[in-house]
Amino acid sequence: MSRIVLVSNRVADLSRAAQAGGVVIAIADLLRSRNGLWLGWSGKIGEKSEEQRTAPDILETGTATVATLHLSNREYKEYYLGYSNGVLWPVFHSRLDLAQFEAGYYQRYLEVNRRFAQALRPLLRPHDTIWVHDYHMIPFGMELRKLGVENPMGFFLHIPVPPAQTFLAIPEHRELARGLAAYDLVGLQTRVDVGNLIDYLQDGVFGRLLQDGRIRAFDRELSIASFPVGIDVDSFIGSRPKRSREHPPTATRLIGVDRLDYTKGLPQKFRAFGRFLEKYPDYRRKVILSQIAPPTRESVVAYADIRHELETLSGTINGKFGELDWVPIQYIHRSTPRRMLVDVYRHSRIGFVTPLRDGMNLVAKEYVAAQDPEDPGVLILSRFAGAAEQMKQALIVNPYDVEEMADSIKVALEMGLQERQDRYQALVSGVRTHDTFAWCRSFLSALENVRRRGPQLPFDPPSEAAKKALQEIEHAHELPNIRSN
Ligand code: GDG
């Protein structure tokens, strides 16, 4: 079996993979079983000499190797905060209004990807299979191909693909598409994402759908398919009894666990809970919303804005409805240990997961896995989370519709035991079947199958003349009709 080489923006500590949860558990397993190598950013920021910049620090951990590189201050600002999180993250989540296009970060984004590719090149072996992850690393494969690497190479995008018209708004969309075309397989979270990417490649860069389902773009043939990410179910099975006899719960809990990100729909969630308390006053003092929202990317302005908005909203709702012995919203802006999360999931009657847009959303799956099969809670899930494509037995809501979300809380609270059990059984069986290990296996076996069809044409960057001709054709195509009247 060939060695596996993973590339992602950050690497995780393999000795603590079990605590990290999510996809890291499966990735650690994969690396150990296939003598793998993982390359990524160390998380450190600092200046280094030119030579050190492409010489990664190497850590051997049993059968796996982890290779890390530092970012300079400027790279951190322009590649990580700037292009990755100030342009690609908002656009891919359909928030064009927040994208910092004009800042000119693309060049640094490309340079970091090039540098990472140069660092990996000497570490590669002829039969390695390369798996690149997420939006920070789209051009990585193209840069590696330019260095003559023709190994099988797959890319997995953890975030959604926006509709074609939104993708086209990125000034560098052609370059991103060229980057994607350098891979043999592009894996996405959902079938909707697959449709969006194929539409974009056809409309935006004249991609041609082939009879075998692949798409031809930039002289390469690319497979695109969905591989929904899952969790390690066993690590979320709650072990404690549902309720402690000594301390019976005073209120029924709704639980939300989301990084503090504008894509997660937190203000709408808080408003819906406030609306629920207003519309159904009998439930006052009987329910609480616990929202765990650890900080992320605080140096990006939009993140400071959302934090401020949430503090104001929770204060307003608590001030309006709270009593001396009851605070309706518990808002915790810190990370919580995972063991504690499992217990909180299990002791919450409702999992309230309402992102405005999300690639998958692992919290929805974790909540279901943690339930007591004898007395399970109810999952309220946004239709715009990738997870909604699989988790149809959840109460599916529109996260922009505060009224509908408020009503769904009541429906969930009043749902009978039999219905809760039926929905839970269907949901948990899906979560088990499509777990994190299945995700890993299915992506890699698809990548190996794609390559069995035969090698690609060598990656040949277009000449300047070809680039210019292509741009002229595309611009002619994009010009608005000039009407004579
Ligand atoms: C991206 C995509 C896609 C959260 N707070 C705490 C904590 N968490 C853990 C959760 C869960 C993970 O973080 C969050 O995963 P999500 O899937 O919900 O969201 P993103 O971080 O945005 O991840 C997403 C995912 O990639 C995988 O492909 O599903 O759509 O956006 O595991 O439990 N964990 C602990 N304390 C916290 O306070 N321990």
pLDDT recorded at residue 470? 45
- Res. 480 pLDDT band, cuts 50 70 90: very low
135-459-229-190 Cα dihedral, nearest 10 degrees: 90
Give the type of residue at 114.
R
Residue of minimum CA distance from atom 23 in ligand 1? 361
Q: From the CB of residue 124, how many other CB atoms can be counted at a distance below 10 Å? A: 16
Q: What is the pTM of this model?
A: 0.92
Q: How far is CA 354 from the centre of its chain?
A: 15
Q: 3-state DSSP call for residue 431? A: helix
The residues, ordered by sequence, that sit 6+ positions from 420 with a Cβ below 8 Å of its Cβ are 375, 376, 377, 378
The atom of ligand 1 lying closest to the CA of 366 is: 33
Helices (H) and strands (E) in the chain, counts: 18, 16
To test the ligand 1 pocket, which listed residue (27, 362, 379, 443) has its Cβ within 8 A of the most ligand atoms?
Answer: 362
Residue of minimum CA distance from atom 32 in ligand 1? 22
pLDDT recorded at residue 301? 76
- Expressed in angstroms and rounded, the spacing between residue 15 Cα and the centre of ligand 1 is 19
Query: Residue 473: is its pLDDT beyond 50?
Result: no
Are the C-beta atoms of residues 63 and 4 closer than 8 Å to each other?
A: no
To test the ligand 1 pocket, which listed residue (258, 260, 297, 361) has its Cβ within 8 A of the most ligand atoms?
Answer: 361
Distance, in Å, from the CA atom of 395 to the CA atom of 390, rounded to the nearest integer, reads 13
Q: When comparing pLDDT for 76 and 25, which is higher?
A: 76
Output helix, strand, coil percentages for the chain, rounded to the nearest 5.
50, 20, 35
Q: How far is CA 167 from CA 172, 290, 301, 392, in A?
A: 10, 35, 22, 28
Phi, psi (5° rounding) for residue 323? -125, 170
Average pLDDT of 315-341? 94
The atom of ligand 1 lying closest to the CA of 261 is: 22
- Expressed in angstroms and rounded, the spacing between residue 161 Cα and the centre of ligand 1 is 18
Q: From the CB of residue 204, how many other CB atoms can be counted at a distance below 10 Å? A: 19
- Expressed in angstroms and rounded, the spacing between residue 360 Cα and the centre of ligand 1 is 9
Which residues are marked as active site? 158, 358
Mean pLDDT in the chain?
A: 90
Give the type of residue at 464.
E
Give the type of residue at 472.
E
pLDDT recorded at residue 53? 75
Residue of minimum CA distance from atom 36 in ligand 1? 336
pLDDT recorded at residue 200? 97
Average pLDDT of 467-476? 49
Residue corresponding to tokens 């408003």? 271
Residue of minimum CA distance from atom 15 in ligand 1? 362
The atom of ligand 1 lying closest to the CA of 340 is: 39
pLDDT tens readout for residues 162-176:
999 999 999 999 999
Distance, in Å, from the CA atom of 220 to the CA atom of 456, rounded to the nearest integer, reads 7
Residue corresponding to tokens 């909540």? 367
Site residues for ligand 1, CB cut-off 6 Å: 21-23, 158-159, 229, 257, 259, 292, 294, 335-338, 341, 358-363, 366
Q: When comparing pLDDT for 228 and 469, which is higher?
A: 228
To test the ligand 1 pocket, which listed residue (260, 360, 391) has its Cβ within 8 A of the most ligand atoms?
Answer: 360
pLDDT recorded at residue 104? 84
Q: What are 326's strand-pairing partners?
A: 323
Residue of minimum CA distance from atom 19 in ligand 1? 361
- Expressed in angstroms and rounded, the spacing between residue 424 Cα and the centre of ligand 1 is 21
- Expressed in angstroms and rounded, the spacing between residue 12 Cα and the centre of ligand 1 is 14
pLDDT recorded at residue 18? 67
Average pLDDT of 73-92? 96
Average pLDDT of 107-133? 96
The residues, ordered by sequence, that sit 6+ positions from 430 with a Cβ below 8 Å of its Cβ are 390, 391
- Expressed in angstroms and rounded, the spacing between residue 352 Cα and the centre of ligand 1 is 14
